[in-house]
Amino acid sequence: MTSSVPSAQLSVLLADLVADPSRALVACDYDGTLAPIVDDPELAFPAPGAVEALAALASRVGLVAVLTGRPAADAVRLGGLDRVPGVVVLGLYGVQRWSAGVLDVPDAPPGLAAAERAAQVLAGRVGARLEPKGGSFAVHTRQAPDPVGALAELRPALVALAAEHGLQVEPGRYVLELRATGAQHVDKGTALSRLAAALPDGHPACSVLFAGDDLGDLAAFDACSRLRTAGTPAWSVAAASPEAPEVAARADFVVDGPTGVVELLAELVQLLG
């Protein structure tokens, strides 16, 4: 679809959500979806109108959630997400949960600290930046002299490092993240499915909308497909970026980055009245 979804078309595509909004789940990624991608993650503030649109939806739908690779508390702090009534923020792809001011953070996976120390050395050699996240860490090459070359050089070394320490590599837009695997592994598809299985009232969602922009969001797109197959209307929205064209190729809706996501959410608010 194009970067602008006409309201008449949107109302048809989301008819089930509009018909019963109290049983709807609306969830979004943070970086690249609600907030523009920036060189410094500490400056990743929401696009104008994003928090306001989420807050307006929160009073109209069963649950508004944010699913992010960031630590949950960081997304709440940077995004001002505590201004969204009843919002649930799942951090580190669903490992952490923030709700009503309460943060649930499980122990970091074994081997993470040692892997992080080794990755710091590797990142320094190519001008990349390491971002500790508590339960995982990310190596960003966006600010390196050669972002593409640095990513290609780091990938095999970080894959080997992850294997050595019982972790896995999560690729993204100029970033490679090392995090838990096996029983401790949670992805955005798992996280979205769990949210859809039980809204705050204890009942399952009757419709689901998820917006994302990066490779880590494809698991949530797959969850939307599984929900549809099982009979629950569910739609994926790509905040399109030339850095991750495969995300737009897999989405039900395609909008123009965070600005397009805000416009889509605002349009949904209007449809719900």
Token reading at 230: 């099982």
Domains of the chain: which residue ranges?
Answer: 7-105+186-272, 112-180
CA 200 → CA 12, 64, 85, 104, 140, distances in Å?
27, 10, 12, 17, 36
DSSP-derived 3-state class of residue 53: helix
Active-site hit among 16, 20, 29, 74? 29
In this prediction, residue 1 carries a pLDDT of 37
**DSSP string for 209-251:** EEEE-SGGGHHHHHHHHHHHHTT--EEEEEE--TT-HHHHHH-
Name the CATH code of domain 7-105+186-272 (choices 3.40.50.1000, 3.30.70.260, 3.40.50.11540, 3.40.50.720): 3.40.50.1000
Local confidence band at 184 (pLDDT 50, 70, 90 cut-offs): low
In this prediction, residue 110 carries a pLDDT of 87
Token reading at 217: 């969001």
| pLDDT (tens digit per residue) in 14-55 | 899 999 999 999 999 999 999 999 988 899 999 999 999 999
Q: Do domains 7-105+186-272 and 112-180 have the same CATH topology?
A: no
Residue 252 designated active-site: no
Local confidence band at 13 (pLDDT 50, 70, 90 cut-offs): confident
| pLDDT (tens digit per residue) in 108-138 | 888 999 999 999 999 999 999 999 998 899 9
Does the domain formed by 112-180 have CATH 3.40.50? no
Mean of pLDDT values over 202-214: 97
List the end-to-end C-alpha distance of the chain, in Å, as a whole number.
25
